[in-house]
Structure 1
Amino acid sequence: MSGPRSTLGLSRRALLRAALAGGAALGATACTPSAPATPLVIAGGVRPGVYISLAGTLADIWRERLGLDGAPQVLTTAGSTENMQLLTGGAATVAISQVDVAADVATGITGPGEPMALARLYDDVTHVVVRRDSDFRTLDDLRGARVSIGPAGSGYQPIALRLLDAAGIGADGLGERAELGLPEADAALRADRIDAFFWSGGVPTGGIRDLADELPIRLLDLGDVLDRVRQRFPVYSVGTVPANTYGLPGPVACLSVRNVLLVTAAMDDGTARALIDAAFLDQPRLAQASPAAVTIDSRSAIGTQPVPLHPGALQFYRSAKDY
């Protein structure tokens, strides 16, 4: 997305600040937003991780662009499932989540607490990481193995369980099951305390790349189970991790899932529009926060189905061609 001319940038900044102050109309829609009832709190993710990096950058962008007295609070969390619990429970006003988890949580929720999307951010790819010198090649080889499926509260533990079910193993078919976050799983694989671990993140994920720099790894190819998973859960798609991403022997077929930026229906249209408008004004900063965010743009950002876009976000996308 190309940057705005300086005069336009100043005009939009003034409009954005007015949106949170509740005193001006935003763009062609001429809406009159009100200030948030509570300070912005963003449910982020684990450290190190793309979620927490993007959440911190968004907090800085919103503080600067919207003239807030202080940066929004960023919460370190286990990931998507916890983020959605925080959002729907009112402890967070903004959250990042995998779209599958968001859609599951949103089922049956109506009214002010209904989760609504501001934007599709980027796509996560599920990694199943093993040592390259191991005999593990497919999910079926993990039968009886020591495997970390990710921590409770993360978005990738449900994916791990669905993949294992599709492979005919299930969680009970593992030899030992651990629920480790990425740093702990990384350390356990290095120390030979586990044989494999699941992780879902942008490509490349820094923690996996650092591991691959010190320990030759392989990602299990998921091609033999992807059709079965997608038949049951069409929200997923097929992704590929190129060989040069982590120095792999070859490209690997993986499961892909979209990540979305969310608020609830309780947020007024002007504030929602101001948040996403400011984010796109500084999209290059998001890309600097994580290589995964390079793909964020206003054309792909509307792809949040089955989670509906917030009306304020719709206003932004409908008028984005004017920017």
Structure 2
Amino acid sequence: MKKKSFLLTTILLLTLSMVLAACGGGTDKKEGGGAEGGEKPKFISIVTGGTGGTYYPLGGSFASIVQDATGIDTNAETSGASAENMNTLKDGKAEIAFSQTDIASYAKNGELMFEGSKVENVQAIGTLYPETIQIVTTKKSGITSVADLKGKKVSIGAPGSGTAANAQQILEVHGITFDDIQRQDLSFDESVAGIQDGTIDAAFVTAGTPTGAVEGLSATTEVVILPIEQDKIDELLGKYPFYIQDEVPSGTYGLASAVPTVAVQAMLVVRDDLSEDVVYDITKAIFENLNKVTHAKGALISAEKALNGVGIEVHPGAQKYYDEKGIKAE
């Protein structure tokens, strides 16, 4: 009887030790981020922006592409855009996010809205296209310049978005602060609705052009995009080198001529605990299926430009794809 009891105990202990050994395996992380192997996730969430911007429709296209190519269930979710997205990745509530390049840099360095709250668990997949800063109003408002915004009701973007930082910096080079305007914190859709019903006078919109919400406004009223004069552009670029010179092309929103302005860049960022293999597959899927992107901005996206102006460390999985293609930052 004692022999049987001893034998049964030994078998149980051996079985338990094998289970514990199997559970302790895990995924080894490579130095510098990104697990080299790693289990493929069952679900990936891409956080984007508001429904009236560019991130959301692009995110929908990317989600379909990634799901078809990798077999991972992938979903695009609306959000408050860049700054909120970086915090969402920090909290582990999504895997991939759209962000402006400047906001991703602030997050990694703990600057501005991220002071004392660095986002350290993110790396870049790559940049996508220019994010044009559009200062939107209407002809009937009588506003024709940035200086005219003093004392007006002006939306600087949704709480948590990167648009507020752009608004602050552009107003700054014009000698204007948020105290000089009647500040409103509204999403693009809310901003357009406010302009339309007269509850606000103007709005900052940082998004690829044409922006859906502004297109909708132009269908009902004559839209004006306020120009940024060249000397102010030069001052802005000198002080904040993540900006590039840009314009809103003639014909956009019915504009009679091109409007000079500035832009940052849209980029995709990813949590650094996604494996190298998974991020490689995601990067490859997106850049090799851009013909499936229906939004007009798809024509501006290419792997060849994806390392330009990234500003933060590139995930090893994305870097592996660029290395295979011989792509380097210009």
Q: TM-score, normalised by structure 1?
A: 0.83
Name the structure 2 match of 1:84: 86
Name the structure 1 match of 2:52: 48
Mapped pair 1:129 → 2:136: yes
C-alpha displacement of 1:161 = 1.3
Q: Contact conserved, 2:143 with 2:149, CA < 8 A, in 1?
A: yes
Extract unaligned runs of 5+ from structure 1.
Answer: 1-30
- CA distance, structure 2, for counterparts of residue 305 and residue 321 of structure 1: 17
The letter for the 2-side match of 1:82 is: E
C-alpha displacement of 1:113 = 4.1
- CA distance, structure 2, for counterparts of residue 249 and residue 238 of structure 1: 20
Superposed structure 1 runs of 4+ greater than 4 Å apart: none
Q: TM-score, normalised by structure 2?
A: 0.81
C-alpha displacement of 1:37 = 5.5
Q: Contact conserved, 1:113 with 1:264, CA < 8 A, in 2?
A: no
Name the structure 1 match of 2:225: 219
Mapped pair 1:99 → 2:104: no
Q: How does 1:129-278 map to 2 (within 5 A)?
A: 129-174=136-181, 176-223=182-229, 224-278=231-285
Report the 3-state secondary structure (helix = DSSP H, G, I; strand = E; otherwise coil) of the residue aligned with 2:141.
coil
C-alpha displacement of 1:321 = 5.7
- CA distance, structure 1, for counterparts of residue 249 and residue 106 of structure 2: 30
Give CA-to-partner distance per residue, 1:156-208, whole Å, 9 cap, x none.
1111111112211110001x221111111111111111111110111111221
Mapped pair 1:298 → 2:303: yes
Identity among equivalent positions (%) equals: 28
- CA distance, structure 2, for counterparts of residue 93 and residue 35 of structure 1: 14
C-alpha displacement of 1:243 = 1.7
Name the structure 1 match of 2:317: 312
The letter for the 2-side match of 1:96 is: F
Report the 3-state secondary structure (helix = DSSP H, G, I; strand = E; otherwise coil) of the residue aligned with 2:317.
helix
Report the 3-state secondary structure (helix = DSSP H, G, I; strand = E; otherwise coil) of the residue aligned with 2:140.
coil
> Per the alignment, do residues 292 and 124 of structure 1 end up closer, same or farther by CA in structure 2, a change over 3 Å counting?
same
Name the structure 1 match of 2:124: 117
Extract unaligned runs of 5+ from structure 2.
Answer: 1-34, 111-115
Mapped pair 1:73 → 2:75: yes
Q: Contact conserved, 2:127 with 2:310, CA < 8 A, in 1?
A: no
C-alpha displacement of 1:308 = 2.0
Report the 3-state secondary structure (helix = DSSP H, G, I; strand = E; otherwise coil) of the residue aligned with 2:219.
helix
**Alignment RMSD:** 2.2
Report the 3-state secondary structure (helix = DSSP H, G, I; strand = E; otherwise coil) of the residue aligned with 1:91.
coil
Q: Highest Rg: 1 or 2?
A: 2
C-alpha displacement of 1:34 = 2.2
